[in-house]
Structure 1
Amino acid sequence: MRERHPQRGRRDAGGRHSEADRDNQHRGGRLRWPFRTLIAPILQRHILRDRTAQEAVIRSSGLPDWVIVRPAELTDGREGRGLRRMTEPGEEPQPTTVSRASVAGFLVSLVSDRSYDGKEILISKA
């Protein structure tokens, strides 16, 4: 008989799944089969179409100073020590997660750092 994960399947007094079980359902972008294969592609198609249109507007705006920042999956953690910055994501491993605090810190740093002007950048934790 297979041993169960000690935290998985536990419910609180109200019959709700434990926090550990909810974390296991959605960790590191690995979603359960029905959502990953049926629902996500439908939702993402519209999101990607909108994002592509928005980015085209920015690129064709004629503005000299713009940066498109694409964060990896957002978390509520603290600001990390380092960020992986990818201007060409196909050349490096896929990003995992990044905290909202780290994204905010990076956006603030762009005020004085002009090295990414006119570029698209994908950020994730280092």
Structure 2
Amino acid sequence: MKLLIFGASGATGRVLVSAALAKGHAVTAFARTPSKLAVSHENLRVIVGDVADHQAVTHAVSGHEAVFSCLGVGVPLKHDPAVVAGIGFIVDAMQRTGPARLIYLSFLGVRDSRRQLGPLLGGVLVPLVLRNEVADHEAKEKLIVQSSLDWTIVRPPKLTNGAATGEFRHGNDIRAASLLPTLTRADVAAFMLGQLDDTTYSRRAVAILR
């Protein structure tokens, strides 16, 4: 498939790009700092752009079969209104020109899934320390949910580096098995790519945990 990945030069975006290429997809990586991508492949095209640029986003979206967002925040623990606006631009462009399929990487700390993290993360750290980042995710999720797109919102816990293990659970009734749950970016990338051919979580948010 022809895939477009926003946030491709970030830690998780890079893993997703590599995983998608390994599966034979044609990948377009949208990145503000392409030098961070450090991936070269005959099926990879890189677009240098800022997600806060409506015109650049609209131009990038055209011609793809599915869109992924691994967009993070510019400064940890701070609000990033430019990225929130960027998600709005992505949704707008997709609704006007296609494609319909959007897979968005969120966080298992947004208000309606926080309980799944357990008492330490969900009850203390998220509302006190990560409140700005979570508020941004909630704003971005709202833009997606209110759209007419065929979306899936993926909510993992804290992400780590390392190889894919395949040892994870997904659903909305699962709970963290440890006080500080983590999941590898490679496992998250594998799950996100699996949503291309799976309608189980079409127009739904889903938690993913070990």
TM-score normalised to structure 1 length: 0.59
State the one-letter code of the partner of 1:66: W
* Corresponding residue for residue 160 of structure 2: 75
- State the secondary structure of the residue aligned to 2:165: coil
1:53 deviates by 0.7
Aligned residue runs from structure 1 range 1-126, under 5 A: 41=128, 43-63=129-149, 65-88=150-173, 92-94=174-176, 96-125=181-210
1:52 deviates by 0.8
Gaps of 5+ in 2: 1-123
- Aligned counterparts of 2:206 and 2:175: Cα–Cα separation in 1: 14
* Corresponding residue for residue 10 of structure 2: none
- Aligned counterparts of 1:93 and 1:55: Cα–Cα separation in 2: 21
Per-residue deviation, residues 47-82 of structure 1 (Å, max 9, x unmatched): 12111110000000111x100001111111210132
- State the secondary structure of the residue aligned to 1:104: helix
Question: What is the percentage of aligned positions where both structures have the same residue?
Answer: 31
Per-residue deviation, residues 12-70 of structure 1 (Å, max 9, x unmatched): xxxxxxxxxxxxxxxxxxxxxxxx87xx82x412112111110000000111x100001
Q: Is the 8 A contact 2:176 2:209 kept in 1?
A: no
Q: Whose Rg is larger?
A: 1
- Aligned counterparts of 2:136 and 2:198: Cα–Cα separation in 1: 28
State the superposition RMSD in angstroms: 2.2
1:85 deviates by 0.4
Q: Is the 8 A contact 1:87 1:119 kept in 2?
A: no
TM-score normalised to structure 2 length: 0.37
Q: Is the 8 A contact 1:75 1:97 kept in 2?
A: yes
Q: Which runs of 4+ in 1 moved over 6 A?
A: none
- Aligned counterparts of 1:67 and 1:47: Cα–Cα separation in 2: 19
